[in-house]
Structure 1
Amino acid sequence: MKLKSLVLIILLLSISFGFAQVQHKDVLFTVADEPVYVSEFLRVYNKNLNLVQDESQKDIEEYLKLFVNYKLKLKEAKAQGLHKKSTYQRELGTYKKQLAKNYMTDADVNDALVREAYEHMTKDINANHILVRVAHDANPEDTLAAYNRIEDLRLRVLNDGFETTRKQVHNGETVFGEELGWFSAFKMVYEFEKAAYQTSVGEISQPFRTGFGYHIIKVLDKRKARGERTVKHIMIRPKENDTVFDAEKRIREIHKKIQQGEEFEALAKEFSDDKNSAPRGGLLKAFSSGQLSVPEFEDIAFGLQNEGDISKPVKTEFGWHIIKLVNAKPIGAFEEIKPELEQKVKRDSRSKLIEKALISKLKEKYDIADKIPDLSYFVSILNEDFYQRTWKLPEDFKGDVPLLKIGDKQLTNADFADMLLSQQKRIIGKKSFDKIVIDAYTSFLNSNLKQYQEENLENENEDYAHILSEYRDGLLLFDLMESTIWEAAKADSIEVEKFYVKNKENYVLPVRVYAEVASSNSKKVIKKVAKLMEKNMAAEDIKALVNTNGEINVIFTTDTMDVSHQALPKTFEMEKGVSKVYKHNNGFIVANVSEVLPKKQKPYEDVKGLVMSDYQTYKEDIWLEELKNKYKVVINNDALKRVKADVK
């Protein structure tokens, strides 16, 4: 599935670039006389430009080879009829529906909500509230009673104080008086968040309603949001079943070396157990408050004030850390975090406002009147069976009567009747027949407006059409590769094993050593350590002699290593005994090698997965040559020259 994800992600990420000179309607090449246009090639090339890691693939001719191979595979997929498979059609339909949601929105309302969310994100709020519970679909009498209750409580708060009243009225069932602590945008339902941000510090809000009931809020404090931190860290992880290794002792030794002036980054490269960040001197990706879900780490990171500040050792569930502040950044600029905010807004209760605006926009677009048509016929055919969920249409039901037209789609009484029949399954309480029919019609109209736009979106929106087309092709490509290469290779175990035997030199363990490596920023110290190693002195005894007066002058690492190990320089000579002194990571090392493990062939079972992957690549190369012979490819060299000139 990893390759499928890569194929689809590359196809779906969209970056737009303009090219003025080349004619986009030019045919760049043909596959079995089927044209592929310059416009498609440039669009795909440019949106993938920053994604390819191989610089050679940014070359137009190299990328053209990839694109031709891609089109050959698609030609074969269609020849095999893979686009007609029910599983393919089902998965494409699901994606199409998901993608359409991104284009079915009111841009103005969406932008306003996104900007408001950004403003909220820049501040944290500390507040308490009182809630009178009432269901969102409660009858008018219960709703009015809850509203009157919250109004009375607000008056009581103004006389007796918020905290006194909050504690007294809380019963955990119908009335809740709660301390909320600090929160920011998207942490509460939208109506609650909006009311909190609109209320000044020390003030009490007017009553407002959410899906939970009626609230009043007292805002205790507001502060600037903590923003984002970029840090480096050194992590020492406790070793299971190792009674000798002491992670805390190790981290404190490293911390002492930092205090003595040794470079944080060099120590991280050499000793940190976080193998992802160690090669980068311990550098982690930037994070905001709450993002790491490691409170101890975050509190220390956000507590560092100045760039370059280094923490004392801190313990988390992952081990011991020393943290260095690289950058303290406030909330990102609006344009920088806008895409993330847009996604959050769509998932949030704010989306109801966007939905309302969209429906209004679609009504105008498809010329749908706001006035509800005469629905008295439907009211007349409802009866008490509806409340029992057993209602059926009368035998003389007038189903073919036109009811609503959206664009060129005519909806009839029968279509609306289907909505009514399905809604009786969800009926709660005893609404009047008039209200049941009006509510059903509203749902009917809204869902059909959105459905009609979705069905026509590919004709109405070029960007949507491109992305859907590319996903459609990407899905086909995955199915083809799975059936032709991946599954076939898995089934052909004898050939895979033969491939391993033929290419054994690609599957070997390099020369390794079992060694104690001493590290110090002082060449004088490391030379002294080398002499003590020559005398077969144990590492702990050497440390006792060298690390004096509370200073950590040398640290030892013991492990089985090859030349890629972080403790060894790339030029290390893999020989038994005490090595020469090497300069490494702004310091010096010497190693006592007790055993040299020779280059060793990896058994087939140990590298079966890697061999399978290599074999699949080998099979794909052969298969592509077959496709080139099956489907003639003709390149339009004149169009290619113009593409090259424009890209440059």
Structure 2
Amino acid sequence: MNYKYLIILFFSAAIFNVYGQSTKEEVLFSVDDEPVYVSEFLRVYNKNLDLVQDESQKDVDEYLSLFTNYKLKLKEAKALELQEKPTYIRELDTYKKQLAKSFISDSKVTDALVQEAYERISNDVKASHILIKIPENANPKDTLAAYNSIIKLRERALKEGFEKVRKEVHNGQTVYGEDLGYFSGFRMVYAFENAAFNTKSGAVSQPFRTQFGYHIVYVQDKRKSRGERTVAHIMVVEKPGDSLAEKPEDRIQDIYKKLNQGEDFEALAKQFSDDGNSAPNGGKLAPFSGGQINSEEFENTAFGLKEIGDVSKPFKSTYGWHIVKLLGKKSIASYEEMKPELEQKVKRDERSKLIDEALYAKLKAKYNISEENPALAYFVSILNEDYFKNTWQLPKGFTAEKPLVKIGNKQLTYKDFGDYLVSVQRNTAANSNFKTLVSKHYNTFLNTNLVTYQEDNLENENEEFANVVAEYRDGLLLFDLMETTIWNTAKTDSLEIENYYNSNKIKYTTPKRIDAVVASSKDQKTLKKVAKLLKKGMALPQIKGLINSNNKIDVIFTVDTMDATHQALPKAFEFKKGISKIYNHNNAFVLVQVKEVLPETQKTLEEAKGLIISDYQTYKEEKWLKELADKYKVVLNQEALKSVKAQIKNQ
């Protein structure tokens, strides 16, 4: 383990101990004489209380048992020195850097960008554009030529009409003229988005540059966002290989006729929809907004429904045939609701560059770093044409140890920046101005070191950051421990798994099932007719032909191998060969013809292997925890526990 990592671990522990003892010095329990304070237990208990689904875990004694097991595992992980693994150290360092960004960034700049982002996702822009494509690192001559070209195209567009010019100049290689349709915030690169939203409807923007080249944008229209929709659907999919299955378009049309006959949408979805996730809920889907559904046909149909309760005609998507019912609609969510999500998007987007610039300015002020550095003139003087050939080296007599800039307690020298210049020369455009080049590289060098210094010292300066890092540090250790001790070994303990399976066979069986035909109808009399025809042995297509007409669907059949949980079967249905009585089920009537009862069967080890391994892992972990409890002595302070319970009760 490196020295820096030891220091961080030591300081993190010191923070927790000082924090714990300053608020409540009592020790709740110890693991091999290592104390665990009341304050830490209360902080973790209260933090996780709202996340706990199992009510038993909200009981203090139950939670204490979980927390004690957690500390036992941590003790074992450290005894195995898992915290010294290079992969562990790398992953923790990566996490700390990611987490630090949210603690050190300028919140005012972030809030302004989030507000702007909300305004833009609340509106749609319809636009087309012309792009003169050039690389990001194009030389000045090519850059100027591209700029002049886009200026001329804008002048033409203003005189001749944008769409005419766009279609004429598009070649798909160096010039692109594209109709983009409607889009909102985050759908385009930030510079393009800015131009589109800041240009009035019917106007052509001034030329602007993105990483793709120079653009002009013609804004055709602006509108408010379409908002959010909640729908239910009935879906019918094709079943390849099943020669007896109906064509999906015929089945969906039959269901649609039943809807037009007044039958309940929710009931029909429960009976016939092939979407296993939504069918039990009457076909209801989670709310969605434009662009969230991966089917243009489905989305357009859903947003095309006007009134709550409206039902679409059957239509086909890439997934199958659908009928959609509008259950709810609302405009874009409030700013307060969307702020956390938008903040994450802003930090991942090009907008983050603005946040970064604000951060650099803040850190320069914090560590009293001047915008000007006279030493840069020396670096300009030692550069030569070799820099553009990627062969430049620091010259003989280079003043390596001379101070360059100081950040807090960290002194950066000429050698630090000199080595940096050597490392980044390979991507330098030929004939760049040396003064500009040195200034640009110095800014990047300085900003990187400012952020690194702040990140490395954040645990010392920010208690909340230290707490979060410590929790992740422990969680990462536990993951490595569980993977090493339980998960991986459970997958390879083939003999032990087989023994576990043989001792617990009764848990791994296929339930009793039936090979059945379920007839469903809104009319009980119809099913009485169906029962008579089934008893005569008439085939299903013939029965459908007699009962249903072209304009009216009175019965729909479901043929399948079913267990007791199948959506088509009434609750507590008796598995008995023959034709059942008529049941009231899902706001309709059903009749079941049981062709064969398939008994409960024992699953083989291979058939149930996934579930067996999962159960074996649980069994092995419980056994291992008992071994840890024997290995490490746990001493509980009963008086402190009484105090904890009193504090929680009075919260």
TM-score for both structures, normalised by structure 1? 0.91
SS in 2 for 1:558: strand
Q: How does 1:320-359 map to 2 (within 5 A)?
A: 320-359=321-360
Aligned in 2, Cα 1:49/1:553: closer, same or farther, shift over 3 Å? farther
Residue 605 of structure 1: SS of its match in structure 2? coil
Deviates more, 1:288-297 or 1:126-135: 126-135
Quote the residue 1:251 is aligned against. 252
Partner amino acid, structure 2, of 1:334: Y
CA contact (8 A) 1:100 1:457 kept: yes
Residue number in structure 2 paired with 1:521: 522
Query: CA separation in 2, counterparts of 1:340 and 1:543?
Result: 52
CA 1:156–1:556: 2 relative to 1, 3 Å? closer
Runs of 4+ aligned residues of structure 1 deviating over 6 Å after TM superposition are none
1:398-427 Cα offsets, whole Å, 9 max, x none, are: 111111100111111111111111121221
Letter in 2 for 1:119: E
Secondary structure of 1:606's counterpart equals: coil
Shift of 1:308: 1.4
Q: Whole-Å Cα distance in 2 between the matches of residues 637 and 288 of structure 1? A: 50
Which residue matches 1:193? 193
Instruction: Read off the aligned partner of 2:331 and give its amino acid letter.
Output: P
Write out per-residue CA displacement over residues 475-527 of structure 1, whole angstroms, 9 at most, x where no aligned residue: 11111112222222233222211111111111111211111111122223223
Tell me the residue number matched to 1:5: none
Query: Structure 1: how far apart are the matches of 2:297 and 2:349?
Result: 29
| Map of 2:451 onto structure 1 | 450
Picking from 607, 625, 637, the partner of 2:641 is 637
- Quote the offset at 1:150 in angstroms: 3.8
* Structure 2: distance between partners of 1:172 and 1:612: 55
Contact 1:512 1:563 in 2 (8 A): yes
Distance 1:172 1:599, change over 3 A: closer
Deviation readout 1:510-551 (Å, 9 max, x if unpaired): 211111111122223223323333333332333223224722
Unaligned runs of 5+ residues in structure 1 are 1-21
Tell whether the 8 Å contact from 2:388 to 2:425 is kept in structure 1 after alignment: yes
Contact between 2:133 and 2:175, CA under 8 Å: does it hold in 1? yes
Q: Distance in 2 between the 1:534 and 1:160 partners?
A: 78
**How far has the Cα of 1:576 moved from its partner?**
0.9
Within 5 Å, give how 1:569-584 maps onto structure 2. 569-584=570-585
Asked whether the equivalents of residues 270 and 282 of structure 2 are also in contact (C-alpha less than 8 Å), the reply is yes
**8 Å Cα contact 2:103-2:465 kept in structure 1:** yes
Per-residue CA deviation, residues 177-202 of structure 1 (Å, 9 max, x unaligned), is: 43222221112221221121111111
The CA deviation at 1:553 is: 1.6
Contact 1:28 1:639 in 2 (8 A): no
Instruction: Tell me which residue corresponds to 2:204.
Output: 204
Distance 1:439 1:302, change over 3 A: same
Counterpart Cα distance in 1 of 2:435 and 2:127: 43
> Whole-Å Cα distance in 1 between the matches of residues 235 and 428 of structure 2?
58
- For residues 240 and 549 of structure 2, what CA distance do their matches in structure 1 show? 30
- 1:204: how far off? 2.4
Tell me how far apart the structure 2 counterparts of residues 597 and 590 of structure 1 sit (CA, whole Å).
19
Equivalent residue number for residue 269 of structure 2: 268
User: Contact 2:60/2:645 (CA < 8 Å) preserved in 1?
Assistant: no
Q: For the Cα contact (< 8 Å) 1:237–1:247, is it kept in 2?
A: yes
CA contact (8 A) 2:375 2:404 kept: no
Deviation at 1:216, TM superposition (A): 2.7
Structural mapping, 1:133-532, within 5 Å? 133-140=133-140, 142-170=142-170, 172=172, 175-245=175-245, 246-532=247-533
226-235 vs 638-647, greater mean Cα deviation: 638-647
Contact 2:42–2:644 (Cα < 8 Å) also in 1? no
Which residue identity is paired with 1:162? Answer: F
- Deviation at 1:215? 2.9
> Residue 230 of structure 2 contacts residue 287 of structure 2 at CA under 8 Å; is this kept in 1?
yes
Following superposition, the deviation at residue 227 of structure 1 comes to 1.6
- Find the counterpart in structure 2 of residue 62 from structure 1: 62
- Alpha-carbon distance, 1:575 to partner: 0.8
Deviation at 1:138, TM superposition (A): 4.2
In the alignment, structure 2 segments of 5+ residues that lack a partner are: 1-21
Deviation at 1:175, TM superposition (A): 4.5
Amino acid corresponding to residue 487 of structure 2 in structure 1: W
Q: 1:463 to 1:207 in 2, by over 3 A?
A: same
Which residue in the other structure is 2:81 paired with? 81
Question: For the structure 1 residues 548 and 166, does the alpha-carbon distance in structure 2 shift closer, same or farther, using more than 3 Å as the test?
Answer: closer
Cα pair 1:517 1:591 within 8 Å, conserved: yes
Contact 1:231 1:284 in 2 (8 A): yes
Q: For 1:240 and 1:479, how far apart are their aligned partners in 2? A: 44
- Separation in 2, partners of 1:180, 1:549: 44
Partner of 1:93: 93
User: How many Å separate the matches in 2 of 1:415 and 1:364?
Assistant: 22
In the alignment, what sits opposite 1:18?
none
> Partner amino acid for 2:566?
H
Aligned-partner residue type, residue 359 of structure 1: Y
Contact preservation (8 Å) 1:26, 1:639: no
Q: Equivalents in 2 of 1:235, 1:48: separation in Å?
A: 40
Give, in angstroms, the shift of residue 455 of structure 1.
0.9
Alpha-carbon offset, residue 157 of structure 1: 3.5
Cα distance between partner residues in 2 of 1:216 and 1:84? 55
* Shift in CA distance, 325/155, structure 1 to aligned 2, threshold 3 Å: same
176-185 or 22-31: which moved more?
Answer: 22-31
Separation in structure 2 between the aligned mates of residue 620 and residue 38 of structure 1, nearest angstrom: 27
Residue 295 of structure 1 deviates from its aligned partner by 0.9
Deviation at 1:573, TM superposition (A): 0.4
Deviations 1:285-319 (A, max 9, x none): 11221222211111111111111111111111211
Question: Bigger shift: 240-249 or 486-495?
Answer: 486-495
Contact kept, 8 Å, 2:369 with 2:407, in 1: the verdict is yes
Q: Kindly state the Cα deviation for residue 137 of structure 1 after the two structures are TM-superposed.
A: 4.1
On the 8 A contact 1:27/1:639 being kept in 2, the answer is: no
DSSP 3-state at the match of 2:328: strand
**Cα shift at 1:148:** 4.3
Name the SS of the counterpart of 2:389 in structure 1.
coil
> How far apart are residue 466 of structure 1 and its match?
2.5
Structure 2 counterpart SS, 1:99: helix
Counterpart contact for 1:23–1:38, Cα < 8 Å: no
TM-score (norm 2): 0.91
Q: Match of 1:617, as an amino acid?
A: T
How far apart are the structure 2 equivalents of 1:359 and 1:282? 52
The alignment covers a number of residue pairs equal to 626
The change in CA–CA distance for 1:45 and 1:531 in structure 2 (over 3 A counts) is farther
State whether residues 27 and 35 of structure 1, in contact with CA within 8 Å, keep that contact through their aligned partners in structure 2.
yes
> Per-residue deviation at 1:53?
3.4
Asked if the contact 2:77/2:477 (under 8 Å) is kept, the reply is yes
Show the counterpart of 1:33: 33
Asked if the contact 1:529/1:542 (under 8 Å) is kept, the reply is yes
Task: Tell me the distance in 2 between the aligned counterparts of 1:351 and 1:344.
Answer: 9
* Displacement after TM superposition at 1:438 (Å): 1.6
- Give me the identity figure in percent: 60
- TM-align CA RMSD: 2.2
CA positional deviation for 1:65: 1.9
